[in-house]
Amino acid sequence: MSFQRLIGQKDLKIRLKHEYLGDPNHAAIFTGAKGSGRHEFAREYAKALMCSSPTDDGACGKCNNCTYFDAGTHPDLIVLADPNKKTIKVDEVRNKVVSDVKICPQISRRKVYLIEGDELNEAGQNALLKSLEEPPANIIFILICEDSEKLLPTVLSRTVEYKLSSYSKDEIMDALRSKNKEEFDGKYSEDELKFTCEFSSNVLGKALDLLGDEELPSMRDKCFEIITNIGKEGYCATLTDRYSYFDANADNIREILLLMLWIFGDLSILKKDRNNKNITNTDKRDVMLKFLDDNPSVDLNKISKAAGHITTVFKRLDLNVNFLYAVGDMLLGIKKELT
């Protein structure tokens, strides 16, 4: 992979190119929210720094350095991360970095330390500081961090920060279209891609993970089935069959609740304007219009109250309220509004 394959971040790519083709700063930090691509950019930058003949587009992908890098066996790339994604031990910092920086690179012209900044506590950062202050030649430190404010000012002042900016809807849709074509032979429709983009709240990494997630479409279908039928069925069915679905999918409860909220959001838009194009579940427009036509008594007020029952469950689950009580109460509340 080269920079060209990474989505967006035009300005960042120009800045990085200037570094790896020129005289790079000895310490960089890549910051950005979850799903922003900070790991991908940090790795691509590390690869370009180590490559024997980097191009305008990053590492060449062909030299020995690139081959070892891709295989994860490059002796001059040192990755520092806690296997449990918690805290890197201070001893690890001392052994893998502080003592190691004195050893010259073996194959590449540079040695790169790729460090999970979020997993460094204060002691770990202090241990790293001396190496950052007096770096031997040909050593580059790359830290990856969700938020640079978690790092000590003394560490930050010795690094150049590269902040990943958020992605536009168009950039995310382009990335989804590419993945759809390359990995799924184009099986997802444009409407499904749009839904995936919306459901990810425009977070690139999340959107790409969601595409191909087998559970999401079936969960969404189930949510539609529940909402369009719950008003017609008996209390017993609601409290046994419907509840059992939530119980069996308790691990995905937040996604399911979110899907239901989005359906109510769309119902509310369509209730006001049948032709509104700004709905999320565009491919389910007919299903929702039929539901509204078949249930004329379901007005905006009732839709809003039904959605309110879902937001209450979010709060209750955060407060560790009993699952059966929280979900059962929600189902009965929604049933009341939609009957």
Binding site for Zn ion (CB under 5 A): 51, 59-60, 63, 66
Which residue's CB is nearer to Zn ion, number 50 or number 97? 50
Pairwise CA distance, residues 305 & 233, whole Å: 19
CB of 69 vs Zn ion, minimal distance in Å: 8
Smallest distance, Zn ion to C-beta of residue 223, A: 48
Quick one: 63 or 81, whose CB is closer to Zn ion?
63
Complex with Zn ion: residue 33 or 60, whichever CB lies closer: 60
Minimum Å distance from CB 178 to Zn ion?
A: 24
Dist CA 261 CA 133 (whole Å): 51
Pairing type for strands 111-116 and 139-145 reads: parallel
Beta bridge partners of 31: 145, 163
**What's the number of CA atoms in the CB half-sphere (13 Å) around residue 273?**
6
Give least dist CB 47 to Zn ion, A: 8
Instruction: Count other Cβ atoms within 10 Å, centred on residue 245.
Output: 16
How far does the chain reach from its first CA to its final CA, in angstroms?
Answer: 54
Looking at the Cβ atoms of 46 and 257, the one nearer to Zn ion is 46
Q: Tell me the closest approach of the beta carbon of residue 37 to Zn ion, in angstroms.
A: 21
The residue with tokens 């920079």 is 3
Q: CB 213 → Zn ion: shortest distance, Å?
A: 34
Gap between the Cα atoms of 11 and 1, Å rounded: 19
Q: How far is the CB of 55 from Zn ion (least distance, A)?
A: 9
Closest separation in Å from C-beta 175 to Zn ion: 25
Rounded to whole angstroms, how far apart are CA atoms 303 and 321?
24
Q: Which residue has the tokens 């059992």?
A: 244
Q: Which residues contact 182 (CB under 8 A, 6 or more apart)?
A: none
Among residues 66 and 88, whose Cβ is nearest to Zn ion? 66
Of the candidates 275, 260, 265, the residue with the CA atom closest to the CA atom of residue 228: 260
Nearer to Zn ion, 74 or 302 (CB): 74
Quick one: 13 or 242, whose CB is closer to Zn ion? 13
Q: Which is nearer to Zn ion, 51 or 263 (CB)?
A: 51
What the block records as the tokens of 239 is 């409290």
114 Rama sector, left if φ>0, alpha if ψ -120 to 50, beta otherwise = beta
Say how far apart CA 210 and CA 9 lie, in whole Å. 22
Nearest to Zn ion by Cβ — which residue?
51
Q: 227: Cβ–Cβ under 8 A, 6 or more apart, which residues? A: 260, 263, 264, 267, 291, 334, 338
Q: How far is the CB of 120 from Zn ion (least distance, A)?
A: 29
Q: Which is nearer to Zn ion, 48 or 156 (CB)?
A: 48
* DSSP assigned state of 146: S
